[in-house]
């Protein structure tokens, strides 16, 4: 016959066995390594999430799927360098595996925040060497690399296309998001030079927020501009104002034209993010940013909305129709 003491001993051992069987898998799961984290820092409308499908497709091509073998920390904000510095510091504090950032402001903010965490930039239209981001195009050095496009050249081409479409516009307005953008002076100088070569006058109108769009377009009309070249970092709402004020405008991305804008000429945004995410994949696989050459976009899109042109009473020249990658009817 089993004594009460022996019974307690048996029960204790059985309980220990149950705890061991339940607790072992939990302990094993706790010991699994955490997923590497990509810190995504961006500015402008809707922050980094606006890259959406292109970003995830680029990840997939690089061999990574969010939640499966990599995690993403999204951070975005307005193009103010002090706020960007705070966000960059937050990513550094979280010790992410690599920082991905769009535009030149976030790029510089991230570089100032860390000299050890790998940084990959994209959607930068200025020379990254001139900006101080990298030592050279082929050998970036330090912890930074990325993807670029030639923004001043694209801006000059936009102005040329706009003048071909609206030859009667003696004055063209350059609608810019902010004079504080690092590339503002470079863009302005190129546009002024191009306008002079085309026999046009260029005026600059600054619009710091969407709430000021109405005031900006009123200024454009009052100053006698016959057409508008729209700079980066605007939402698609700007196309609605161009339609309301019946003024021809050219944008930097096809999304504006799909939403009713007149025409756009710019680099392939999807290509930029795929190039950058490809670099992120190489870094997660062990490559060093210093050894990864800067990648450059080679695809450009010219899109025309014929319906909008008709509403504005504009007949699109055949040479522009032939040059267009996409025509919306």
In which domain, by residue range, is 188 found? Answer: 151-267+301-328
Supply the pLDDT for residue 21: 34
Same-domain status, 166 and 203? yes
Same-domain status, 144 and 176? no
Would you say residue 262 lies in a domain? yes
Same-domain status, 218 and 324? yes
Kindly give, in sequence order, each residue whose CB lies less than 8 Å from that of residue 166, ignoring residues fewer than 6 positions away: 226, 227, 248, 314
Same-domain status, 208 and 164? yes
Q: Do residues 70 and 284 touch, judged by C-beta distance below 8 A?
A: yes
Would you say residue 10 lies in a domain? no
CATH number at residue 51: 3.40.50.2300
In a 13 Å sphere around the CA of 120, the CA atoms on its Cβ side amount to 28
Q: Among 140, 68, 144, 65, which residue's Cα sits nearest to residue 104?
A: 144
Give the separation between CA 119 and CA 109, rounded to whole angstroms. 11
Same-domain status, 47 and 179? no
Supply the pLDDT for residue 87: 81
Same-domain status, 144 and 217? no
Same-domain status, 68 and 123? yes
Write out the chain's pLDDT in tens, 329 residues.
445 445 445 444 444 443 333 333 434 434 455 899 999 887 655 555 566 778 888 899 889 999 999 999 888 655 544 567 788 888 889 999 999 988 766 677 788 889 999 999 998 888 888 888 899 999 998 999 999 988 888 999 999 999 999 999 999 999 998 766 667 778 888 999 999 999 999 999 999 888 999 999 999 999 999 999 998 878 889 999 999 999 999 999 988 999 999 999 998 888 898 999 999 999 999 999 999 999 998 889 999 999 999 999 999 999 999 999 999 98
- Residues paired with 171 in a beta bridge: 201
Would you say residue 17 lies in a domain? no
- pTM assigned to the model: 0.76
Same-domain status, 306 and 198? yes
Same-domain status, 309 and 163? yes
Same-domain status, 72 and 205? no
Supply the pLDDT for residue 306: 97
Would you say residue 314 lies in a domain? yes
Q: Do residues 182 and 104 touch, judged by C-beta distance below 8 A?
A: yes
Q: Do residues 67 and 101 touch, judged by C-beta distance below 8 A?
A: no
How many independent structural domains does the chain possess? 2
At which residue do the structure tokens 């008709």 appear? 310
């Amino acid at each position: 016959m089993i004594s009460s003491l022996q019974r307690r001993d048996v029960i204790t051992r059985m309980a220990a066995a149950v705890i061991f069987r339940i607790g072992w898998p939990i302990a094993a799961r706790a010991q699994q390594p955490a997923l590497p984290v990509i810190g995504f820092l961006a500015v402008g409308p809707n922050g980094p999430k606006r890259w959406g499908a292109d970003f995830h497709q680029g990840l997939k091509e690089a061999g990574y799927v969010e939640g499966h073998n990599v995690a993403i920390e999204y951070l975005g904000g307005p193009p103010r360098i002090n706020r960007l510095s705070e966000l960059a510091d937050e990513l550094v504090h979280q010790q992410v595996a690599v920082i991905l950032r769009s535009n030149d402001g976030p790029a510089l903010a991230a570089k100032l925040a860390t000299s050890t965490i790998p940084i990959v930039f994209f959607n930068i239209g200025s020379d990254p060497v001139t900006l101080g981001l990298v030592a050279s195009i082929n050998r970036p050095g330090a912890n930074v690399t990325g993807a670029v496009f030639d923004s001043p050249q694209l801006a000059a081409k936009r102005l040329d296309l706009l003048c071909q479409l609206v030859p009667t516009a003696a004055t063209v307005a350059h609608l810019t998001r902010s004079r504080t953008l690092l590339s503002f002076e470079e863009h302005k100088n190129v546009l002024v030079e191009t306008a002079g070569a085309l026999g046009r006058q260029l005026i600059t109108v600054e619009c710091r927020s969407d709430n000021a769009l109405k005031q900006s377009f009123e200024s454009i009309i009052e100053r006698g501009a016959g057409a508008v070249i729209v700079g980066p970092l605007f939402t698609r709402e700007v196309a609605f104002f161009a339609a309301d004020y019946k003024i021809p405008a050219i944008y930097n991305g096809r999304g504006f034209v799909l939403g009713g804008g007149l025409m756009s000429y710019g680099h392939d945004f999807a290509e930029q993010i795929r190039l950058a995410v490809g670099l992120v994949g190489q870094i997660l696989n062990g490559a060093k940013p210093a050894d990864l050459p800067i990648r450059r976009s080679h695809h450009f899109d010219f899109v025309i909305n014929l319906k909008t042109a008709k509403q504005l009473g504009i007949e699109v020249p055949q040479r522009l129709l032939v040059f267009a990658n996409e025509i919306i009817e």
